[in-house]
Structure formats: structure tokens, C-alpha cells
Structure 1
Amino acid sequence: MNIETTRSKPAAQGLPERMKGVLLTGHGGFEKLEYREDIPLPRAKAGEVLIRVTAAGINNTDINTRIGWYSKAVTTGTESGGATGFQSAEDTDASWSGVPLAFPRIQGADCCGRIVDVGDGVDPIRIGERVLVRNMLRSHVDYRPFECWTFGSECDGGFAQYAVAPARETYRVECDWSDVELASLPCAYSTAEGMLHRAAVGAGEHVLIAGASGGVGSAAIQLAKRRGATVTAIASPDKAQQLLAIGADTVLARGESIAAHLGRETVDVVLDVAAGPSFGELLDVLKKGGRYAVAGAIAGPIVELDVRTLYLKDLTFFGCTFQEDVVFENLVSYVERGEIRPLVGKTYPLSEIVEAQRDFLSKRIAGKLVLVIPE
């Protein structure tokens, strides 16, 4: 995105020519996040909608993209480079897709707002809808299997007053949730639901969730309980009551022996966004024929695997990034039927994005951290 580029299509009536937003100017530390009030307003092209963004959640993928953590040259957890970035990161593979990012970029995988304009081919009746954007966009890759763009990575996202998105991947949501609550949904809840979907979690199964106090983990608790599972969550003791309140049956203290508390071969499914030193023990507590689903490695991407554990126990591993279309559609239906409710930890004005990311990295606050976008 070149912020000096002028668009040929005029702004819709009543819309400004410029907007407030946060530009990511390159891979690195917090200094790469630049709050601006002079960003050209984007225009909805054919098949797109223009959204007045009201709230946008903070996610690991936003931070990982900023610091270049996805580069294979980085071998430690997110937290070690969250503030300053990684000198070892290589720009050529520092995005989650492995394709170099174009800068400046407006990040923000989560986006809640209202449609204020539409491009050619989109019914103007959609103007005024309160919507969520599917964070894993399929339109841009012609719906090819296991391919997608991430909103706020391969294209501009929700950390601004306005954003454009494919109309067919922008979902009207009718519920009593606040905009802040809705903005906590797209990335975290779709990641969690995607893991449960891939692992085919069913009623009566025992699910162990590592990294349970964050956005994905707290979403996974609710979504696993919705399926009738028994949930054991791993988190720091000070967050245990909050996790029990949203459905966890048991909370284990992070860092303590998992096997000592649960016993070996007692868990049907592990949902993991942490990896790191606990990886081996997570496999030890899986039953024979158990399933391990992973969608993150904030505690460290390099782990030690005893392959004998994998094959002698007939385990199945699921790497979970791509999401089938039904995942996001199901989430919207769960919200509209009142089957889930988000755990929002704290809100911030958009201009305080650095403070929000600092708090996110500290892991002090359970639930989602959400940016409120100004008028």
C-alpha cells in the first residue's frame, strides 16, 4: 500500500478522503507501528465492501508478522522478540504464508464494523449491515484447497477507521453482542473451531487445552464444551477462576507436571497453541489413537519428538492453519443462537496499540484484548 497513491474512484458521499490508522512499516519492534491520521481512504472495488471499522482484536498473528517470527531463521518463542523483533529474521520468509510482505501494511486480522459503501456487483442493500470479516480470505486465491490470505497480512486489515473486504467473505451478524465482543471473534474463535473441526472432537471426549487463557485458548474452552467435551485447561493459577467460569472443568497450573495430575493416556485430544518445553508431556497424556492439533508455538517452535511415541500410540497430528469454509459460517451461527460468549480482557484506543501489544505479550490478562477505533 502506497499511502500517497490517489484512487480514481471518488469517495462515497459523506465519507472522508483520509482516515486514522496504524501502518506497519517493516519487520521489527514496536517502532515499526506508526499511528497516522492522513492515510488515504480505501475504495471498494468490484465484489468488495467498504467497512467503517469500530473494533479490532489483538492476535498473535499480528505480532508474529510484525516481528518476523514466521521466518525459519527464528527458533525461539514469540515473547523473546515481541518488543524488539528478531535480528535473525529474514524478510523473504517472515510472513505466515512464506511470501514477503509489502510495506506499509495495515494489520488487524479481526474486524467488526458496518458497511458504508459497496463496489460494483454488490447489492447496495448491504450498506448499514453490522459485519465481521472472515480472517482467512479465500476469494483472493480462487478458493484453492489449503490456500488463503490473512486479513491484515496479505492485504490491509482492521487497524484503521475503514477497511475493504470481499463481500462474499463479509458476514452480517445479528446478535446482542457489543462491537468489542464481536471483534474478539474472527481470528481466535475460528482458529479454535478449526482445530476442533479438524480433530473431530465429539461429546464425551476429554480435551486438554494448552495456552488456555489467551484468546484462542478461552475460545477453545467454550467451543469444546459446546460439543459436549470435558475440558482440562492449562494456565497460570491467577486465571483459573475465569477459565472455570467460562466452562473449563479443571485448570492445571502452567509449568507443573501434566502427567502427574492427569495420568498417562487419559486425554482424547490435545489442542495446543504453545508448543515449547511441554510438547513431549502433551503426547504422553494422550490415549492410544489420540489426536494432537496445533495452531501456534508461542512458547517455542522447536520441540523434541520421540517418534516411537507417535507411531506406537497410533497418534494423529493436525497442523491447523487453513480453515474449511464451514468453520466461520458455523461460528456466526453459534453467536446468533447464543451458544457462546467471548471473554474480553481489556480495551484500548487504536492509538495505544503498542500498550495493547505489550499487555498481550505479558500474558497478564485473560481473554481478548480489543482496540476501539475512533470516530
Structure 2
Amino acid sequence: MKAIVLREFGQIDHFRLEDMPDPTPGPGEVVVRLRAAALNHRDLWISRGKYPNVTLPAVLGSDGAGQVASLGEGVEGLRTGQDVVINPSLDWGPDPRVQGDRFRILGMPDHGTFAELIAVPAENVVPKPAGMNFEDAAAIPLAGLTAYRAVVTKAEVQPGETVLVTGIGAGTATLALQFALALGARVFVTSGSEAKLERARALGAKGGVSYRDDDWPSKLRELAGAPDVVIDSAGGEGFGRCVDLLRPGGRLVTFGGTAGPVPSFNVFPLFWKQLRLLGTTMGTAAEFAAMLDLVEDRGIRPVVDRAFPLAEATEALRHMEQAGQFGKIVMKVE
């Protein structure tokens, strides 16, 4: 099979399209012939050596959709040729509140989806949503699971509530916007790009502000009032300002730190306004199934920014590095 292999850290050009042995399914596994894979910022961080316990060479990629190529011993409920999508949350563990010691995300240390074939546990393979093409299906797993747990499980967003999603344009933030809208919330967004704010409005956001404006919290409050919920993946200096924005009894859910560490934090509004700060990472198999049900029931389609051939993985990663995309970047595997 062909695969995109990372053999050294540092530059995106270190990814190479190479021949690798075809995987064979072990007991309880299936081999999926991938038709599409999607990128995540996780792939960039790994390529720069900014991820724990990375071993090289590696085939990255957490998101994928395709067809069942072969079944390992003991696998039931799946058939060869079936259209499927892969849940990248491996070995979550028995406690739905928190991942266990064996938890890991597909694509490191296990070989990932930047390949023509992949062997994965059968429990991580589910039927592709009906009517959805492979590119759309591949755009959902990691971002969709993360957004679903943040919006539904952790924030418990209710109809009529006001939700702020920061950093719109990223795949997870965009799906968080779509999920919150599907639940009947009023959603507002932030971005450093006016074009991305306009795209968010076209998806259904009530409005948005640029976080490049030093007075963005005041402008957001004029538009939205005090939000009930903030969904944040940036951290950094804006984190404390999001806490200040929340109405009494509000919730802030965080799943990332793309803007770096929080430089300072005033605990007064946290206890005086009876706020909840909630952290989340990925999710359980039950949440993955519920997320796909929501997607299918509400006719949600992920926003795909651009699709590249697998052989152009370097160009796809460079496009992500430039941070100009709105939605997910996908690779077609042919």
C-alpha cells in the first residue's frame, strides 16, 4: 500500500509518500480501505516533535472513512465492502467521565489514516452516515467527537441559551457551532478574520467579533449579552476574558490551547458567579455513536475547506499551517 510517512521532525517536507506492507487484521480487528482522510492540528504538532512519546517512522492521521477490506477472527456485525467511518478514540476505558491509562488517539502511536489501508479494532468502525460522501464522513470523527462532548455532554447546551464559540474556522469550532445550533441555541463566534466571521453567519451564527480588537468582549456583550456557555480551544490571554463574559451560573468548556498558556487568572468571578470550568478531550464510543446520530438526524454536513489527493499531503499540511482554512482539510485516497 501507499502511505504518507514521517521519518524526522521539523519540516512539513519531511513527509514522504512511500510503499509499506499491507496490514492484516488481527483477532477483533478489521482492515479498512480508506477513501478519504482528514487533517488535524495534532498532525502538525506531532511533525514538529511537540507531542509526547512520539516514535518515528510514523503514519499520522486520526480521521478516515472507507470500506471494509477484510475481517479478523471473531468480528461480527460488519461485512466486507461496507462503507464505514473510523472512531479515532482508542481504548477509552470503563469510566465515561475520564479516559483510562491505555487511551490514545489513532495516528500516534498506532499508524493512522494517511494511507490506503489501515487495521483498527472492529469496535472503532461504524457504518458511514447514509447519504454522506467519503470526504464529508472523514471530516467528522475527531472534530465531531470533541465538539459533541464539549457542547452536549459537558456544557449541556439547552434550547434558547446563548453560546460563544471562539476561534471559528477551525474544524472542531465549526462543528461546535453546528451542534449548538442544532440544539436550538443562539450562537456567537470570534475570529481574527472578517471573512471567517461572515462564513459563520452564513452557517447560522447570530453574529461575531474579531478577537484582534482589544475591546472585543465589550463588543460581544453589546451583540449577545452575557453568554450562558463558552466553548474555547484557544486558552491564552483571552481565556480570562471569556470567564469574565459569562453570565452567573454559566459554563466554560475548554479542549485546547492554541493561543498558549493562560498568563493570569482572576478567581473572583469564578466563585462569585457560581461558574463551572470544564475540561474535555475526545470522548467515548457511546458519544461517538450519539454524535453520528445527531449528524444524521439533523442533516448536519461538516464544512470541508478543501480536498487534496493523498500524494499531495505536504501541500495539504502547508495549507493548514497557514491557518486560512474554514472547516476541515481532507485528503482523497484513490
TM-score (norm 1): 0.82
Matches within 5 A, 1:1-375: 19-36=1-18, 38-69=19-50, 94-95=51-52, 100-123=53-76, 126-138=79-91, 145-147=98-100, 148-196=103-151, 197-235=153-191, 236-256=193-213, 257-263=215-221, 266-374=226-334
- Map Cα deviations across residues 40-76 of structure 1 (whole Å, 9 max, x no partner): 111110000000011111111111222233xxxxxxx
8 Å contact 1:211–1:234 — kept in the other structure?
yes
Which residue matches 1:8?
Answer: none
Cα distance between partner residues in 2 of 1:124 and 1:337: 22
Cα distance between partner residues in 1 of 2:288 and 2:78: 23
Q: Which amino acid aligns with 1:33?
A: F
Cα distance between partner residues in 2 of 1:343 and 1:286: 28
Identity %: 30
8 Å contact 2:6–2:14 — kept in the other structure?
yes
RMSD (Å), alpha carbons: 1.9
Cα distance between partner residues in 1 of 2:117 and 2:94: 25
8 Å contact 2:239–2:262 — kept in the other structure?
no
Cα distance between partner residues in 2 of 1:124 and 1:286: 46
Note the residue ranges of structure 2 that are not aligned, 5 or more in a row. none
SS at match of 2:119: strand
The CA deviation at 1:357 is 1.5
Q: Which amino acid aligns with 2:148?
A: E
Q: Which amino acid aligns with 1:251?
A: G
The CA deviation at 1:125 is 5.2
- Map Cα deviations across residues 283-328 of structure 1 (whole Å, 9 max, x no partner): 1111122111111111223432112232222221111114133221
Structure 1 residues 102 and 68 mapped into 2: Cα distance closer, same or farther (>3 Å)?
closer
Cα distance between partner residues in 2 of 1:262 and 1:336: 32
8 Å contact 1:258–1:282 — kept in the other structure?
no
8 Å contact 2:68–2:84 — kept in the other structure?
yes
Structure 1 residues 39 and 244 mapped into 2: Cα distance closer, same or farther (>3 Å)?
same
The CA deviation at 1:331 is 1.8
Structure 1 residues 125 and 316 mapped into 2: Cα distance closer, same or farther (>3 Å)?
closer
- Map Cα deviations across residues 258-307 of structure 1 (whole Å, 9 max, x no partner): 32113397011110111222222111111122111111111223432112
- Map Cα deviations across residues 69-127 of structure 1 (whole Å, 9 max, x no partner): 3xxxxxxxxxxxxxxxxxxxxxxxx32xxxx1232121101011100101000138511
The 4+ residue runs of structure 1 with deviation greater than 6 A are: none
8 Å contact 2:308–2:332 — kept in the other structure?
yes
The CA deviation at 1:338 is 4.2
Cα distance between partner residues in 1 of 2:109 and 2:179: 28
TM-score (norm 2): 0.92
8 Å contact 2:209–2:220 — kept in the other structure?
no
SS at match of 1:152: coil
Q: Which amino acid aligns with 2:212?
A: G
SS at match of 2:249: strand
Structure 1 residues 250 and 154 mapped into 2: Cα distance closer, same or farther (>3 Å)?
same
8 Å contact 1:226–1:339 — kept in the other structure?
no
Cα distance between partner residues in 1 of 2:303 and 2:129: 19
8 Å contact 1:258–1:285 — kept in the other structure?
no
SS at match of 1:224: helix
Count of aligned residue pairs for this structure pair: 326
Cα distance between partner residues in 2 of 1:42 and 1:369: 26
Cα distance between partner residues in 1 of 2:33 and 2:241: 46
